[in-house]
Amino acid sequence: MMKSSKLFALAGVTLLAATTLAACSGSGSSTKGEKTFSYIYETDPDNLNYLTTAKAATANITSNVVDGLLENDRYGNFVPSMAEDWSVSKDGLTYTYTIRK
């Protein structure tokens, strides 16, 4: 009885190792050229006006279509997007943007 359980354990480990190695190997053919990424949203957007929507699906779509004046880098700092440069008045009430061409 002990001998057969060791045999089954060895067969299981061998099968697991073979499956793991097969999954890690390449497909054998290299794909070069254009690749497409598709993302499916849970719901349809209610409109494409990013100023008036409260729906998350619309905000997700329009944020990938419309550039803002500034963006955040990975540290949260403002970096130029549509604006090449910007300045803030001393009183903090006026923002002046230089738009890129």
Residue 95: what pLDDT? Answer: 95
Higher pLDDT, 36 or 15: 36
Across all residues in the chain, what is the average pLDDT? 82
pLDDT value, residue 26:
62
State how far the Cα of 101 lies from the Cα of 86, in Å rounded to an integer.
15
| 41, 61 Cβ separation under 8 angstroms | yes
SS3 63: helix
- Return phi, psi of residue 10, to 5°: -65, -40
d(CA 34, CA 24): 24
Rounded to two decimals, the pTM is 0.43
61-82 mean pLDDT: 88
